Structure 1
Amino acid sequence: MSTFTTPLEAFFYWLDKDPDHIFLRQPIKREFIEYTRRDAFEQALQIAATLHEMGLKKGDHVALLSKNCAHWFMADLAIMLGGFISVPLYPTLDKNSINEILLHSESKAILLGKLDDYSAQKDGIPDIPKIGVELYGIKEAYSWEELIQKQNDFRPIDQNPEDLITIMYTSGTTGNPKGVMHKVKSFNLVTQVGMKALEVKDQSNFFSYLPLSHIAERIGIEMGSMYGGSTVSFPESLETFAEDLANVQPNTFFAVPRIWQKFQEGVLQKIPQKKLDLLLSIPIINNIIKKRIIAKLGLSNASFCGSGAAPLALSLQNWYSKIGIDIQQCYGMTEDCILSHFNLTKTNKFGTVGKPLPGVTSKLSAEGEILIKSDALMVGYYKSKEQTDAMFTKDGFLKTGDLGEFDHDGFLSIVGRIKDQFKTDKGKYVTPSPIELELSKNTDFEHICLVGTGISQPIVLLIPSESGWSKGKDALNASILKSINALNPTLKKHEKIEKAVVMKENWTVDNGLMTPSMKIRRNRIEAIHQPMYLDWFSRKERVVYESES
């Protein structure tokens, strides 16, 4: 792998080496539209030129609202070529959140790509130039397709390692989103360190589906493809996701725990666990079964299978290992540009998030909070010095807000979030994450939130999975109680779960109860349901249904 100083330098290296190499593959009506490196560069250059013609100057902020698609990459490339600072927005945001971020970030223009319901979001965009991609049905005052037909002699702006490259607004499990500022050099450092550590080969085959407005996908897939000269394919829709992934068979695959759980549920629906155990116990047959499952999942060529954003249950890692997939847990956040802790192929310790990557120093505070220092830490939160100062210790370590433990071999485990701890009315603190992780072993559960503020013992709020609901109420109740009864003897007295509440409404990104990276928004769930805790707690039955309240 060559060494670069900026993302544009890396892109130009591969552009010069092989301009006709396929860079982006966008499915439309089950057919791929393919863009070479030259195609992407020429289109992005015209958009950069147009933004300058509109009066934007180097260092101005340009927003990007789109699901993952070829034009997300080309739009971000245009922003870099023009010397602008990107402000990527989650494609699921409502009009109010869009308006809040665009005004706060002082964005001077916005690029609009693939969206599910732009008509519901459009009114959130203030009076700034809008460039829409007609391929995805976005018709605005400025058309991407028309603008790229123009010809001019615009020259790309030089990318300086010390310049800001982006302001990334966090998905926010608590509070309002904050704009995390990163320099070009941070993206450059973490991409090259990460690719080397994970042994990602040049000209790999990538599959991009997690939100590109999230730091993991932005670094791992977008930057990874630019630095490694790789090809990126996209899913067409949620309905075609499994088929698209199986067709692409990428060389690396990263998912959040919920997706790994979904994959497991899909396998077990076709091959129940008892039958799977039997097949895996038979020599020769077991290898055939493993290869067939891995191919169906789309992971036959994946040398790296990662998981992050939330803790992955040890039981789930062990289950995948038995079918031939060793998932490597990783840990990072927007504020540290995910230059933090990774499990690597040769040092992969299940149940942990690995050791510090090269250039990372980590330690625990007196309270057990994980503290991180590297050359890729954020510059700060945009227009918020007070919040920025609160994120750092006096000696320059970033406060992650996560509670951790190091084992004797130096592997880090995440114990929970400091802000997630709650106090029962007995005055005892409970850290919910480890308990929720144990409960997540049960594939009948989709989402889990342990709560207990204002009551004497914790209760667990549950969203059953499809397999859970399909069992019927009596069997589901038995499954819930079996998990609770098995777990309670291992817990301290004040942690023992008194009962479960089955929620009537799913927790989704659309209703604001999940982040785009599939973490529950605990504070919002609590704000809605806390008034009912005492009533649920006082019921005679141990499994309460919210719909029957």
Structure 2
Amino acid sequence: MSDTQTLIENRPPTVAALFLERVAATPDAEAYRFPVPAAGGEGPDEWKSLSWGQAAERVFAIAAGLVDLGLASEQRVALASGTRVEWILADLGVMCAGGAVTTIYPSTNAEESAYILADSDSHVLIAEDASQLAKARERRADLPTLSRVVVMESADAIAAEGDPEGWVLSLADLEARGREYLAKNPEAVKERIGAITADQLATLIYTSGTTGRPKGVRLPHDNWSYMAKATVATGMITSEDVQYLWLPLAHVFGKVLTSGQIEVGHVTAVDGRIDKIIENLPVVQPTYMAAVPRIFEKVYNGVAAKARAGGGAKYKIFQWSVGVAREYAKVTQDNYRRTGNATAPFGLTTKHKIADALVYSKLREAFGGRLRAAVSGASALAPEIGYFFSGAGINILEGYGLTESSAASFVNPGEAYRTGTVGKPLPGTEVRIADDGEILLRGPGIMQGYHGQPEKTAEVLEPDGWLHTGDIGELSPDGYLRITDRKKDLIKTSGGKYVAPAEIEGQFKAICPYVSSIVVHGADRNFCSALIALDGPSILVWAAENGLEGKTYAEIVAAPETNRMVETYVQTLNAGLQRWQTVKQFRLLPRDLDVEHGDLTPSLKLKRPVVEREFKHLIEEMYAGTREA
């Protein structure tokens, strides 16, 4: 048996047990960094730290406080908060108490929050602030089992008229209660941890979904223990790393990152404020971070817009450097695959060194200067954007997984990564491709099923453990997986041709520096069309250079000049497509797509049915006057 197999097969039953091991091994080592805003909001944030021992004190206090409130084994505690260090401490506290965490995105409205709280049968809600408390209070009549709301922000933990006595308390109050409980029962939390079994429910994550009510995915403790061991077994992270964690912890991707960190013991800097990412990176100087493709697309568009604003010469240098980066990445990756050495010809290497001095080094500095790798997941990254970052010295390691598979089923392996693929399966995970191209997965990371929905579970989970992912993919002879599309998203035109919209959308994002989102349509139509949303900051720069300065976003996208500009990029796209894939018509959307309007999930995945429904009039306009087969 290999060392990797031994590591995984001899894993402890729970992450709570792993946490105890980590605290015992390195109690004084730094575990978490987190920002504290300056007084009055003036000046930069002050970053503070918690050692593993200090974190354990708070985690045990939260766990004991919940036990004192009467939390029973597997009873649900909901967490409605943005990404912050208290989220991690609360999550660990619930698990160490033997309870199960139900995650709720802070952007979720009151109606859907109430649905999740009721469907999960949550007894306690840990809410970030007054706004999350207000949602629970608004629907309290529909939540008879919700006995307490614990508020992270102490100043917001204020009872209102009509609240049951003791219904609202602060996280500080809960921790104080826990410390008192531990003073009388010092072994209570460790006893709870020792009683947890591998198959006991740890996390109930509701898929944000692109249609219908979200489904609760039941993930037992063993899933997270496996993920902790398997991600570290890939060699992707070490104890010397510094992770910058901003992803939503309500999402399964974020949860995996916290589990792997406990196993290896590196530092994690936690701050979920997306508007602070650019400011934080030079301060944190991470060695690795995880993100979703939309972030890399926005960085790419932002760099391109800045270069264009610097004048024609500067923009030409940028465009040249982009071409060099892509060529260099493709050549070095190909050589590594064939020979094990990431080399390039002398001429290309010389050009790359010049481009590095002019462009790439500045890009790396913007990421903090020490970024060894960035992990991308949740949806596909356009390969040409991936090649650009790779050639610029920022290796984006795409991974793949579902909420139903505890997020991380595949990841690109370090230096042997291949842009355009999601890498190889994690140790212990099996994969096969069904006759229709669907990816099937089996292994210790697969869910128990959907909460209270055995029929829905049976639709995707076979009795022998194979999970139907709903994604279409191809495996290379040496085990690298390439995702081609969502099974349900494949378009069949009225001419009988199949089109993968995500592939076309990815190509367009690599070609057009002004696009934010694109939705390719064409099911049962006689040609493909597209709805295109432009990136606000980038298009404002372009507008200022093209006689549209001072115009609003809606006015800019409605201008004929903008339409003509986008048309040139669509023509470039079409030149590289098969005839039946080409985009014959497009319309620019009057606003960008976002989470607030329901166009994107909280993890920034596109909700095609929502977008197509809202902008149906534009779709029909594109096909008006054409003969449908």
Query: Is the TM-score greater than 0.5?
Result: yes
- What does 1:338-377 align with in structure 2 at a 5 Å threshold? 338-377=407-446
2:616 to 530, 539, 543: 530
Structure 1 residue 135, shift from structure 2 partner: 5.1
**3-state SS of paired residue (1:149):** helix
1:379 to 434, 445, 448: 448
**3-state SS of paired residue (1:498):** strand
Larger C-alpha radius of gyration, 1 or 2? 2
Counting matched residue pairs gives 538
Contact 2:227 2:445 in 1 (8 A): yes
* Match of residue 544 from structure 1: none
In the alignment, does 2:173 pair up with 1:146? Answer: yes
Structure 1 residue 277, shift from structure 2 partner: 5.5
Structure 1 residue 438, shift from structure 2 partner: 1.1
Contact 1:45 1:78 in 2 (8 A): yes
* Match of residue 264 from structure 1: 300
- For structure 1, the residue ranges without an aligned partner over 5 or more in a row are 541-549
In the alignment, the residues of structure 2 paired with residue 139 and residue 287 of structure 1 have an alpha-carbon distance, to the nearest angstrom, of 55
Contact 1:480 1:500 in 2 (8 A): no
**Residue range with higher mean Cα deviation, 65-74 or 519-528:** 519-528
1:111 to 123, 126, 133: 126
- State the Cα deviation string for residues 245-266 of structure 1 (Å, max 9, x = none): 2210112111111101111223
1:303 to 369, 372, 396: 372
In the alignment, the residues of structure 2 paired with residue 152 and residue 534 of structure 1 have an alpha-carbon distance, to the nearest angstrom, of 64
* Match of residue 317 from structure 2: 275
In the alignment, the residues of structure 1 paired with residue 535 and residue 79 of structure 2 have an alpha-carbon distance, to the nearest angstrom, of 34
2:36 to 25, 28, 52: 28
Contact 1:251 1:304 in 2 (8 A): yes
* Match of residue 165 from structure 2: none
**Residue range with higher mean Cα deviation, 276-285 or 252-261:** 276-285
Structure 1 residue 323, shift from structure 2 partner: 1.4
* Match of residue 130 from structure 1: 149
In the alignment, does 2:77 pair up with 1:62? Answer: yes
Structure 1 residue 283, shift from structure 2 partner: 4.5
* Match of residue 172 from structure 1: 209
* Match of residue 545 from structure 1: none
**3-state SS of paired residue (1:240):** helix
In the alignment, the residues of structure 2 paired with residue 176 and residue 282 of structure 1 have an alpha-carbon distance, to the nearest angstrom, of 50
**3-state SS of paired residue (1:99):** helix
CA RMSD of aligned residues (A): 2.5
Identity of aligned residues (%): 27
| Alignment TM-score, normalising by the size of structure 2 | 0.80
2:388 to 319, 324, 327: 319
Structure 1 residue 367, shift from structure 2 partner: 0.9
Change (3 A) 1:11 1:364: same
**Residue range with higher mean Cα deviation, 258-267 or 119-128:** 119-128
Q: State the AA in 2 paired with 1:152.
A: Y
In the alignment, the residues of structure 2 paired with residue 264 and residue 296 of structure 1 have an alpha-carbon distance, to the nearest angstrom, of 12
* Match of residue 391 from structure 1: 460
Q: State the AA in 1 paired with 2:595.
A: V
In the alignment, the residues of structure 2 paired with residue 124 and residue 288 of structure 1 have an alpha-carbon distance, to the nearest angstrom, of 56
- State the Cα deviation string for residues 155-191 of structure 1 (Å, max 9, x = none): 1112322222111111212332111111111111122
In the alignment, the residues of structure 2 paired with residue 285 and residue 436 of structure 1 have an alpha-carbon distance, to the nearest angstrom, of 28
Structure 1 residue 471, shift from structure 2 partner: 2.5
In the alignment, does 2:220 pair up with 1:209? Answer: no
1:96 to 106, 111, 132: 111
- For structure 2, the residue ranges without an aligned partner over 5 or more in a row are 38-44, 160-167, 309-314, 325-350, 544-558
Structure 1 residue 115, shift from structure 2 partner: 7.7
**Residue range with higher mean Cα deviation, 199-208 or 322-331:** 199-208
| Alignment TM-score, normalising by the size of structure 1 | 0.91
Structure 1 residue 139, shift from structure 2 partner: 4.0
Contact 1:443 1:468 in 2 (8 A): no
Q: State the AA in 1 paired with 2:18.
A: A
In the alignment, the residues of structure 1 paired with residue 49 and residue 98 of structure 2 have an alpha-carbon distance, to the nearest angstrom, of 26
2:58 to 31, 34, 43: 43
* Match of residue 16 from structure 2: 8
Structure 1 residue 488, shift from structure 2 partner: 2.6
**3-state SS of paired residue (1:224):** helix
2:570 to 479, 484, 488: 484
Contact 2:305 2:541 in 1 (8 A): no
Structure 1 residue 36, shift from structure 2 partner: 2.9
- State the Cα deviation string for residues 367-412 of structure 1 (Å, max 9, x = none): 1111111122111111010011110245431100001112344321
In the alignment, does 2:539 pair up with 1:468? Answer: yes
Higher share of residues assigned helix:
2
In the alignment, the residues of structure 1 paired with residue 607 and residue 49 of structure 2 have an alpha-carbon distance, to the nearest angstrom, of 38
- State the Cα deviation string for residues 118-160 of structure 1 (Å, max 9, x = none): 5456524535210001257454521112232341224111232
**3-state SS of paired residue (1:168):** strand
